[in-house]
Structure 1
Protein backbone atom coordinates (compact mmCIF):
# COMPACT_ATOMS: atom_id res chain seq x y z
CA UNK A 1 0.00 0.00 0.00
CA UNK A 2 1.46 3.34 -1.04
CA UNK A 3 1.68 6.24 1.33
CA UNK A 4 -1.25 8.42 0.30
CA UNK A 5 -4.11 10.31 1.87
CA UNK A 6 -5.77 7.08 2.97
CA UNK A 7 -2.60 5.84 4.65
CA UNK A 8 -2.24 9.14 6.49
CA UNK A 9 -5.80 8.87 7.74
CA UNK A 10 -5.18 5.36 9.06
CA UNK A 11 -2.06 6.55 10.87
CA UNK A 12 -4.07 9.34 12.43
CA UNK A 13 -6.64 6.81 13.66
CA UNK A 14 -3.96 4.73 15.33
CA UNK A 15 -2.33 7.85 16.81
CA UNK A 16 -5.65 9.01 18.26
CA UNK A 17 -6.16 5.57 19.78
CA UNK A 18 -2.69 5.75 21.32
CA UNK A 19 -3.37 9.17 22.80
CA UNK A 20 -6.77 8.33 24.22
CA UNK A 21 -5.53 5.04 25.63
CA UNK A 22 -2.66 6.86 27.31
CA UNK A 23 -5.08 9.39 28.79
CA UNK A 24 -7.20 6.61 30.25
CA UNK A 25 -4.17 4.75 31.57
CA UNK A 26 -2.70 7.88 33.15
CA UNK A 27 -5.35 7.85 35.87
CA UNK A 28 -4.79 4.12 36.47
CA UNK A 29 -1.03 4.67 36.64
CA UNK A 30 -1.47 7.54 39.10
CA UNK A 31 -3.40 5.23 41.43
CA UNK A 32 -0.80 2.46 41.00
CA UNK A 33 -3.19 -0.07 39.53
CA UNK A 34 -2.00 -3.30 37.90
CA UNK A 35 -3.03 -2.17 34.41
CA UNK A 36 -1.53 1.28 34.08
CA UNK A 37 -0.67 3.70 31.32
CA UNK A 38 1.24 1.33 29.06
CA UNK A 39 -1.32 -1.46 29.27
CA UNK A 40 -4.29 0.78 28.44
CA UNK A 41 -2.34 2.44 25.63
CA UNK A 42 -1.44 -0.90 24.10
CA UNK A 43 -5.01 -2.17 24.42
CA UNK A 44 -6.44 0.90 22.68
CA UNK A 45 -3.78 0.89 19.97
CA UNK A 46 -4.13 -2.85 19.37
CA UNK A 47 -7.90 -2.54 19.06
CA UNK A 48 -7.51 0.27 16.52
CA UNK A 49 -4.99 -1.73 14.52
CA UNK A 50 -7.28 -4.76 14.39
CA UNK A 51 -10.21 -2.62 13.24
CA UNK A 52 -8.03 -1.06 10.53
CA UNK A 53 -6.80 -4.52 9.57
CA UNK A 54 -10.33 -5.84 9.20
CA UNK A 55 -11.59 -2.83 7.27
CA UNK A 56 -8.79 -1.99 4.86
CA UNK A 57 -6.26 -4.80 4.53
CA UNK A 58 -8.29 -7.46 2.70
CA UNK A 59 -9.98 -5.50 -0.05
CA UNK A 60 -13.42 -3.99 -0.13
CA UNK A 61 -15.17 -7.18 -1.22
CA UNK A 62 -14.37 -9.31 1.82
CA UNK A 63 -13.58 -6.68 4.45
CA UNK A 64 -15.69 -6.94 7.59
CA UNK A 65 -14.45 -4.65 10.40
CA UNK A 66 -17.39 -5.56 12.63
CA UNK A 67 -16.26 -9.18 12.75
CA UNK A 68 -12.78 -8.12 13.83
CA UNK A 69 -14.20 -5.75 16.44
CA UNK A 70 -16.25 -8.62 17.88
CA UNK A 71 -13.09 -10.69 18.25
CA UNK A 72 -11.41 -7.76 19.99
CA UNK A 73 -14.20 -7.71 22.57
CA UNK A 74 -13.82 -11.41 23.37
CA UNK A 75 -10.03 -11.16 23.44
CA UNK A 76 -10.10 -8.28 25.91
CA UNK A 77 -12.34 -10.40 28.11
CA UNK A 78 -9.51 -12.89 28.60
CA UNK A 79 -7.05 -10.07 29.25
CA UNK A 80 -9.33 -8.47 31.82
CA UNK A 81 -9.81 -11.77 33.63
CA UNK A 82 -6.08 -11.84 34.26
CA UNK A 83 -6.18 -8.70 36.43
CA UNK A 84 -9.07 -9.89 38.61
CA UNK A 85 -7.88 -11.44 41.86
CA UNK A 86 -9.71 -12.88 44.82
CA UNK A 87 -8.43 -12.26 48.33
CA UNK A 88 -10.55 -14.21 50.79
CA UNK A 89 -14.09 -12.94 50.42
CA UNK A 90 -13.02 -9.82 48.52
CA UNK A 91 -12.54 -9.48 44.77
CA UNK A 92 -10.04 -6.96 43.43
CA UNK A 93 -9.36 -5.73 39.92
CA UNK A 94 -12.91 -5.52 38.59
CA UNK A 95 -12.66 -1.79 37.94
CA UNK A 96 -9.27 -2.23 36.25
CA UNK A 97 -10.65 -4.99 34.03
CA UNK A 98 -13.63 -2.82 33.10
CA UNK A 99 -11.28 0.04 32.27
CA UNK A 100 -9.30 -2.21 29.93
CA UNK A 101 -12.53 -3.22 28.23
CA UNK A 102 -13.47 0.43 27.76
CA UNK A 103 -9.99 1.23 26.44
CA UNK A 104 -10.50 -1.44 23.79
CA UNK A 105 -13.84 0.13 22.87
CA UNK A 106 -12.26 3.59 22.60
CA UNK A 107 -9.45 2.20 20.43
CA UNK A 108 -11.97 0.44 18.19
CA UNK A 109 -13.93 3.67 17.73
CA UNK A 110 -10.75 5.54 16.85
CA UNK A 111 -9.74 2.79 14.43
CA UNK A 112 -13.13 3.10 12.74
CA UNK A 113 -12.66 6.84 12.33
CA UNK A 114 -15.32 7.80 14.88
CA UNK A 115 -13.11 10.31 16.65
CA UNK A 116 -15.86 12.23 18.42
CA UNK A 117 -17.34 9.09 19.96
CA UNK A 118 -13.87 7.86 20.89
CA UNK A 119 -13.10 11.16 22.61
CA UNK A 120 -16.42 11.13 24.43
CA UNK A 121 -15.85 7.53 25.51
CA UNK A 122 -12.37 8.27 26.85
CA UNK A 123 -13.68 11.31 28.72
CA UNK A 124 -16.47 9.21 30.22
CA UNK A 125 -14.05 6.52 31.40
CA UNK A 126 -11.72 9.06 33.02
CA UNK A 127 -14.63 10.89 34.64
CA UNK A 128 -16.02 7.62 35.99
CA UNK A 129 -12.70 6.65 37.57
CA UNK A 130 -12.12 10.11 39.08
CA UNK A 131 -15.37 11.97 39.71
CA UNK A 132 -17.46 8.98 40.77
CA UNK A 133 -14.74 7.62 43.05
CA UNK A 134 -15.34 10.03 45.97
CA UNK A 135 -19.08 9.73 45.43
CA UNK A 136 -19.05 5.95 45.80
CA UNK A 137 -16.87 6.22 48.91
CA UNK A 138 -19.27 8.74 50.42
CA UNK A 139 -22.19 6.41 49.72
CA UNK A 140 -20.35 3.52 51.37
CA UNK A 141 -19.58 5.62 54.44
CA UNK A 142 -23.21 6.70 54.65
CA UNK A 143 -24.40 3.11 54.44
CA UNK A 144 -21.91 2.00 57.09
CA UNK A 145 -23.01 4.76 59.43
CA UNK A 146 -26.64 3.88 58.86
CA UNK A 147 -25.95 0.23 59.66
CA UNK A 148 -23.96 0.98 62.82
CA UNK A 149 -25.99 3.83 64.23
CA UNK A 150 -28.76 2.85 66.62
CA UNK A 151 -30.84 4.30 69.39
CA UNK A 152 -29.86 3.35 72.92
CA UNK A 153 -32.54 2.36 75.43
CA UNK A 154 -32.50 1.09 78.98
CA UNK A 155 -35.17 -1.04 80.61
CA UNK A 156 -35.33 -1.25 84.39
CA UNK A 157 -37.45 -3.99 85.95
CA UNK A 158 -37.96 -4.52 89.66
CA UNK A 159 -39.04 -8.00 90.75
CA UNK A 160 -38.92 -10.26 93.76
CA UNK A 161 -35.54 -11.71 94.57
CA UNK A 162 -36.80 -15.28 94.21
CA UNK A 163 -38.26 -14.51 90.77
CA UNK A 164 -35.10 -13.00 89.31
CA UNK A 165 -34.35 -15.77 86.83
CA UNK A 166 -37.96 -15.94 85.62
CA UNK A 167 -38.23 -12.18 85.08
CA UNK A 168 -34.82 -12.09 83.46
CA UNK A 169 -35.91 -14.67 80.90
CA UNK A 170 -39.15 -12.80 80.27
CA UNK A 171 -37.25 -9.57 79.73
CA UNK A 172 -34.79 -11.14 77.28
CA UNK A 173 -37.60 -12.81 75.36
CA UNK A 174 -39.60 -9.58 75.11
CA UNK A 175 -36.61 -7.68 73.75
CA UNK A 176 -35.83 -10.42 71.21
CA UNK A 177 -39.42 -10.46 69.96
CA UNK A 178 -39.25 -6.69 69.44
CA UNK A 179 -36.28 -7.04 67.05
CA UNK A 180 -33.90 -5.22 69.36
CA UNK A 181 -30.34 -6.05 70.34
CA UNK A 182 -29.59 -6.76 73.98
CA UNK A 183 -26.14 -5.42 74.79
CA UNK A 184 -25.96 -5.95 78.53
CA UNK A 185 -28.12 -6.93 81.49
CA UNK A 186 -27.20 -6.37 85.12
CA UNK A 187 -28.87 -7.20 88.39
CA UNK A 188 -28.61 -5.43 91.73
CA UNK A 189 -30.30 -6.26 94.98
CA UNK A 190 -32.39 -3.67 96.72
CA UNK A 191 -34.49 -3.49 99.86
CA UNK A 192 -37.59 -5.52 100.65
CA UNK A 193 -36.13 -8.68 99.08
CA UNK A 194 -36.32 -7.29 95.58
CA UNK A 195 -33.87 -7.18 92.70
CA UNK A 196 -33.49 -4.56 89.99
CA UNK A 197 -32.73 -5.80 86.48
CA UNK A 198 -31.32 -3.23 84.10
CA UNK A 199 -31.13 -4.13 80.41
CA UNK A 200 -29.20 -1.99 77.91
CA UNK A 201 -30.37 -2.50 74.35
CA UNK A 202 -30.02 -1.02 70.88
CA UNK A 203 -32.86 -0.45 68.46
CA UNK A 204 -32.92 0.68 64.84
CA UNK A 205 -33.02 4.47 64.42
CA UNK A 206 -36.52 5.82 64.79
CA UNK A 207 -37.88 2.87 66.76
CA UNK A 208 -41.54 3.37 67.49
CA UNK A 209 -42.60 4.12 71.03
CA UNK A 210 -45.52 1.71 70.80
CA UNK A 211 -43.07 -1.17 70.42
CA UNK A 212 -41.37 -0.17 73.63
CA UNK A 213 -44.72 0.28 75.33
CA UNK A 214 -45.77 -3.23 74.38
CA UNK A 215 -42.70 -4.57 76.17
CA UNK A 216 -43.65 -2.57 79.24
CA UNK A 217 -47.22 -3.84 79.14
CA UNK A 218 -46.14 -7.43 78.72
CA UNK A 219 -43.75 -7.20 81.64
CA UNK A 220 -46.22 -5.27 83.76
CA UNK A 221 -48.88 -7.97 83.41
CA UNK A 222 -46.65 -10.53 85.06
CA UNK A 223 -47.41 -10.72 88.81
CA UNK A 224 -43.76 -11.28 89.59
CA UNK A 225 -42.84 -7.83 88.21
CA UNK A 226 -43.26 -5.01 90.72
CA UNK A 227 -42.37 -2.10 88.41
CA UNK A 228 -40.91 -1.47 84.97
CA UNK A 229 -39.74 1.62 83.13
CA UNK A 230 -37.57 2.57 80.15
CA UNK A 231 -35.63 5.57 78.89
CA UNK A 232 -33.30 6.44 76.07
CA UNK A 233 -29.92 8.20 75.95
CA UNK A 234 -31.49 11.66 75.72
CA UNK A 235 -33.06 11.20 79.10
CA UNK A 236 -36.64 10.81 77.90
CA UNK A 237 -38.31 8.39 80.25
CA UNK A 238 -41.52 6.45 80.40
CA UNK A 239 -42.66 4.79 83.61
Structure 2
Protein backbone atom coordinates (compact mmCIF):
# COMPACT_ATOMS: atom_id res chain seq x y z
CA UNK A 1 0.00 0.00 0.00
CA UNK A 2 2.84 2.39 0.85
CA UNK A 3 4.30 1.81 -2.59
CA UNK A 4 1.00 2.83 -4.19
CA UNK A 5 0.35 5.87 -2.03
CA UNK A 6 3.96 7.02 -2.33
CA UNK A 7 4.05 6.64 -6.10
CA UNK A 8 5.20 9.81 -7.84
CA UNK A 9 5.12 9.77 -11.62
CA UNK A 10 7.29 12.87 -11.89
CA UNK A 11 10.07 11.39 -9.77
CA UNK A 12 9.85 8.10 -11.66
CA UNK A 13 10.20 9.91 -14.97
CA UNK A 14 13.17 11.83 -13.58
CA UNK A 15 14.80 8.56 -12.50
CA UNK A 16 14.21 7.03 -15.93
CA UNK A 17 15.95 9.97 -17.58
CA UNK A 18 18.93 9.75 -15.19
CA UNK A 19 19.31 6.00 -15.62
CA UNK A 20 18.92 6.21 -19.39
CA UNK A 21 21.63 8.85 -19.69
CA UNK A 22 23.93 6.83 -17.45
CA UNK A 23 23.37 3.60 -19.39
CA UNK A 24 23.89 5.20 -22.80
CA UNK A 25 26.99 7.16 -21.80
CA UNK A 26 28.48 4.19 -19.94
CA UNK A 27 27.86 2.07 -23.03
CA UNK A 28 29.72 4.58 -25.22
CA UNK A 29 32.68 4.62 -22.86
CA UNK A 30 32.67 0.84 -22.60
CA UNK A 31 32.39 0.37 -26.36
CA UNK A 32 35.83 1.91 -26.81
CA UNK A 33 37.26 -0.42 -24.17
CA UNK A 34 35.52 -3.39 -25.78
CA UNK A 35 36.95 -2.46 -29.17
CA UNK A 36 40.43 -2.41 -27.61
CA UNK A 37 39.76 -5.87 -26.14
CA UNK A 38 40.30 -4.68 -22.57
CA UNK A 39 39.36 -6.66 -19.45
CA UNK A 40 36.51 -4.33 -18.47
CA UNK A 41 34.52 -3.68 -21.62
CA UNK A 42 31.11 -2.45 -22.68
CA UNK A 43 28.89 -4.16 -20.12
CA UNK A 44 31.16 -3.43 -17.17
CA UNK A 45 31.39 0.29 -17.85
CA UNK A 46 27.70 0.54 -18.68
CA UNK A 47 26.71 -1.20 -15.45
CA UNK A 48 29.15 0.85 -13.37
CA UNK A 49 27.66 4.06 -14.75
CA UNK A 50 24.12 2.74 -14.28
CA UNK A 51 24.78 1.61 -10.72
CA UNK A 52 26.39 4.90 -9.75
CA UNK A 53 23.43 6.80 -11.19
CA UNK A 54 20.97 4.60 -9.33
CA UNK A 55 22.72 5.04 -5.98
CA UNK A 56 23.03 8.81 -6.34
CA UNK A 57 19.43 9.15 -7.51
CA UNK A 58 18.18 7.12 -4.54
CA UNK A 59 20.29 9.08 -2.06
CA UNK A 60 19.03 12.32 -3.58
CA UNK A 61 15.40 11.27 -3.25
CA UNK A 62 15.73 9.96 0.29
CA UNK A 63 17.83 12.69 1.87
CA UNK A 64 18.41 15.42 -0.70
CA UNK A 65 21.87 16.74 -1.46
CA UNK A 66 23.25 15.38 1.81
CA UNK A 67 22.12 11.86 0.94
CA UNK A 68 23.63 12.10 -2.54
CA UNK A 69 26.93 13.34 -1.12
CA UNK A 70 27.08 10.48 1.37
CA UNK A 71 26.40 7.94 -1.37
CA UNK A 72 29.09 9.48 -3.57
CA UNK A 73 31.70 8.80 -0.90
CA UNK A 74 30.82 5.11 -0.87
CA UNK A 75 30.74 4.95 -4.66
CA UNK A 76 34.26 6.37 -4.81
CA UNK A 77 35.65 3.72 -2.45
CA UNK A 78 33.61 0.89 -3.94
CA UNK A 79 34.65 1.63 -7.52
CA UNK A 80 38.26 1.75 -6.32
CA UNK A 81 38.01 -1.90 -5.26
CA UNK A 82 36.30 -2.79 -8.54
CA UNK A 83 39.04 -1.08 -10.54
CA UNK A 84 41.73 -2.92 -8.60
CA UNK A 85 40.26 -6.17 -9.90
CA UNK A 86 41.19 -5.38 -13.51
CA UNK A 87 44.81 -4.51 -12.71
CA UNK A 88 47.10 -7.43 -13.49
CA UNK A 89 50.75 -7.73 -12.51
CA UNK A 90 52.92 -10.19 -14.39
CA UNK A 91 56.52 -10.01 -13.22
CA UNK A 92 57.64 -6.43 -13.69
CA UNK A 93 54.75 -5.58 -16.04
CA UNK A 94 51.50 -4.04 -14.82
CA UNK A 95 48.46 -3.89 -17.10
CA UNK A 96 44.92 -2.65 -16.65
CA UNK A 97 45.66 0.71 -15.05
CA UNK A 98 44.04 2.65 -17.88
CA UNK A 99 40.99 0.39 -17.83
CA UNK A 100 40.69 0.83 -14.06
CA UNK A 101 40.85 4.61 -14.49
CA UNK A 102 38.15 4.37 -17.17
CA UNK A 103 35.89 2.58 -14.69
CA UNK A 104 36.37 5.51 -12.31
CA UNK A 105 35.32 7.88 -15.08
CA UNK A 106 32.28 5.75 -15.92
CA UNK A 107 31.21 5.90 -12.28
CA UNK A 108 31.56 9.69 -12.20
CA UNK A 109 29.61 9.95 -15.44
CA UNK A 110 26.80 7.91 -13.93
CA UNK A 111 26.94 9.94 -10.72
CA UNK A 112 26.46 13.15 -12.70
CA UNK A 113 23.43 11.63 -14.41
CA UNK A 114 22.00 10.39 -11.12
CA UNK A 115 22.37 13.84 -9.60
CA UNK A 116 20.28 15.30 -12.47
CA UNK A 117 23.29 16.91 -14.14
CA UNK A 118 22.87 15.22 -17.51
CA UNK A 119 24.79 17.89 -19.42
CA UNK A 120 27.79 17.44 -17.13
CA UNK A 121 27.49 13.66 -17.57
CA UNK A 122 27.72 14.08 -21.34
CA UNK A 123 30.76 16.34 -20.97
CA UNK A 124 32.43 13.82 -18.65
CA UNK A 125 31.79 10.99 -21.11
CA UNK A 126 33.23 13.05 -23.99
CA UNK A 127 36.36 13.86 -21.99
CA UNK A 128 36.76 10.20 -21.02
CA UNK A 129 36.53 9.09 -24.64
CA UNK A 130 38.94 11.84 -25.63
CA UNK A 131 41.42 10.69 -23.01
CA UNK A 132 41.32 7.11 -24.29
CA UNK A 133 41.22 7.86 -28.01
CA UNK A 134 42.78 11.22 -28.78
CA UNK A 135 45.71 10.84 -26.38
CA UNK A 136 46.68 7.46 -27.84
CA UNK A 137 48.71 8.95 -30.76
CA UNK A 138 50.52 11.21 -28.30
CA UNK A 139 51.41 8.22 -26.13
CA UNK A 140 52.77 6.36 -29.15
CA UNK A 141 54.79 9.41 -30.18
CA UNK A 142 56.38 9.70 -26.73
CA UNK A 143 57.12 5.97 -26.57
CA UNK A 144 58.85 6.08 -29.96
CA UNK A 145 61.01 9.05 -28.99
CA UNK A 146 64.70 8.22 -28.34
CA UNK A 147 65.43 7.74 -24.64
CA UNK A 148 67.78 10.31 -23.14
CA UNK A 149 69.33 8.49 -20.19
CA UNK A 150 70.60 11.78 -18.75
CA UNK A 151 67.00 12.94 -18.30
CA UNK A 152 65.75 9.62 -16.95
CA UNK A 153 65.39 9.28 -13.21
CA UNK A 154 66.98 6.03 -12.12
CA UNK A 155 69.08 4.37 -9.46
CA UNK A 156 72.64 4.00 -10.73
CA UNK A 157 75.07 1.49 -9.28
CA UNK A 158 78.77 1.01 -9.99
CA UNK A 159 79.99 -2.59 -9.68
CA UNK A 160 83.68 -3.21 -9.07
CA UNK A 161 85.08 -6.69 -8.45
CA UNK A 162 88.35 -6.53 -6.49
CA UNK A 163 90.73 -8.85 -4.70
CA UNK A 164 90.15 -9.48 -1.02
CA UNK A 165 93.62 -8.24 -0.10
CA UNK A 166 93.04 -4.78 -1.63
CA UNK A 167 89.36 -4.43 -0.79
CA UNK A 168 89.63 -1.54 1.70
CA UNK A 169 92.11 0.46 -0.35
CA UNK A 170 90.14 0.07 -3.58
CA UNK A 171 86.93 0.91 -1.78
CA UNK A 172 88.41 4.32 -0.90
CA UNK A 173 89.71 4.79 -4.43
CA UNK A 174 86.26 3.97 -5.79
CA UNK A 175 84.60 6.62 -3.61
CA UNK A 176 87.24 9.24 -4.45
CA UNK A 177 86.97 8.57 -8.20
CA UNK A 178 83.17 8.90 -8.16
CA UNK A 179 83.24 12.07 -6.07
CA UNK A 180 85.85 13.56 -8.40
CA UNK A 181 83.39 12.95 -11.25
CA UNK A 182 80.66 14.71 -9.20
CA UNK A 183 78.81 11.51 -8.42
CA UNK A 184 78.68 11.19 -4.62
CA UNK A 185 78.08 7.72 -3.19
CA UNK A 186 75.01 7.04 -1.11
CA UNK A 187 76.12 3.63 0.11
CA UNK A 188 78.48 0.79 -0.74
CA UNK A 189 77.51 -2.87 -0.43
CA UNK A 190 80.03 -5.71 -0.35
CA UNK A 191 79.18 -9.03 -2.00
CA UNK A 192 81.45 -12.02 -1.54
CA UNK A 193 82.61 -13.58 -4.83
CA UNK A 194 84.50 -16.64 -3.68
CA UNK A 195 87.47 -16.74 -1.31
CA UNK A 196 89.67 -14.30 -3.20
CA UNK A 197 87.30 -11.69 -4.64
CA UNK A 198 84.60 -9.32 -3.44
CA UNK A 199 82.22 -7.14 -5.43
CA UNK A 200 81.82 -3.55 -4.30
CA UNK A 201 78.46 -2.11 -5.32
CA UNK A 202 78.26 1.67 -4.98
CA UNK A 203 74.79 3.22 -5.16
CA UNK A 204 74.99 6.79 -6.41
CA UNK A 205 73.14 9.67 -4.82
CA UNK A 206 72.38 11.23 -8.19
CA UNK A 207 69.19 10.15 -9.94
CA UNK A 208 70.37 11.36 -13.35
CA UNK A 209 73.80 10.82 -14.88
CA UNK A 210 75.69 10.99 -18.15
CA UNK A 211 76.28 7.38 -19.31
CA UNK A 212 79.54 8.36 -21.03
CA UNK A 213 80.90 9.75 -17.79
CA UNK A 214 80.07 6.55 -15.92
CA UNK A 215 81.68 4.54 -18.70
CA UNK A 216 84.84 6.60 -18.24
CA UNK A 217 84.78 6.12 -14.45
CA UNK A 218 84.34 2.35 -14.85
CA UNK A 219 87.19 2.25 -17.39
CA UNK A 220 89.52 4.19 -15.07
CA UNK A 221 88.76 1.87 -12.16
CA UNK A 222 89.21 -1.20 -14.36
CA UNK A 223 92.79 -0.21 -15.08
CA UNK A 224 93.76 -0.12 -11.39
CA UNK A 225 95.80 -3.04 -10.07
CA UNK A 226 93.66 -5.42 -8.05
CA UNK A 227 90.44 -4.60 -9.94
CA UNK A 228 89.14 -7.60 -11.85
CA UNK A 229 86.07 -5.99 -13.41
CA UNK A 230 84.23 -2.65 -13.34
CA UNK A 231 80.81 -1.79 -14.80
CA UNK A 232 77.62 0.09 -13.97
CA UNK A 233 73.90 -0.61 -14.05
CA UNK A 234 70.76 1.51 -13.95
CA UNK A 235 67.36 0.71 -12.52
CA UNK A 236 64.54 3.06 -13.44
CA UNK A 237 62.41 4.36 -10.59
CA UNK A 238 58.59 4.04 -10.65
Give the superposition deviation at 1:53: 1.3
Alignment map for 1:52-201 (pairs within 5 Å):
52-56=57-61, 58=62, 64-144=67-147, 146=148
In the alignment, does 2:15 pair up with 1:10?
yes
Map of 1:31 onto structure 2? 36
Structure 1 runs of 4+ aligned residues shifted over 4 Å read: none
Distance in 2 separating the partners of 1:132 and 1:109: 24
TM-score (norm 1): 0.59
Q: Could you say what secondary structure the match of 2:40 adopts? A: coil
Structure 1 residues 135 and 59, CA, compared in 2 at 3 Å: closer, same or farther?
closer
Give the superposition deviation at 1:116: 1.2
Map of 1:51 onto structure 2? 56
Q: Could you say what secondary structure the match of 1:122 adopts? A: helix
Task: Mark the runs of 5 or more structure 1 residues left unpaired by the alignment.
Answer: 148-176, 179-203, 208-239
Task: Mark the runs of 5 or more structure 2 residues left unpaired by the alignment.
Answer: 1-5, 150-179, 182-209, 213-238
Larger Rg: 1
Q: Could you list the per-position Cα deviations for residues 77-125 of structure 1 after superposition, in whole angstroms to 9, with x for gaps in the alignment?
A: 0000000011111110000000001100000000001111111100000
Q: Could you say what secondary structure the match of 1:64 adopts? A: helix
Give the superposition deviation at 1:3: 4.7
Distance in 2 separating the partners of 1:65 and 1:34: 30
User: How many equivalent residue pairs?
Assistant: 153
CA RMSD between the two structures:
2.7
Distance in 2 separating the partners of 1:75 and 1:66: 14
TM-score (norm 2): 0.59
Distance in 1 separating the partners of 2:101 and 2:86: 10
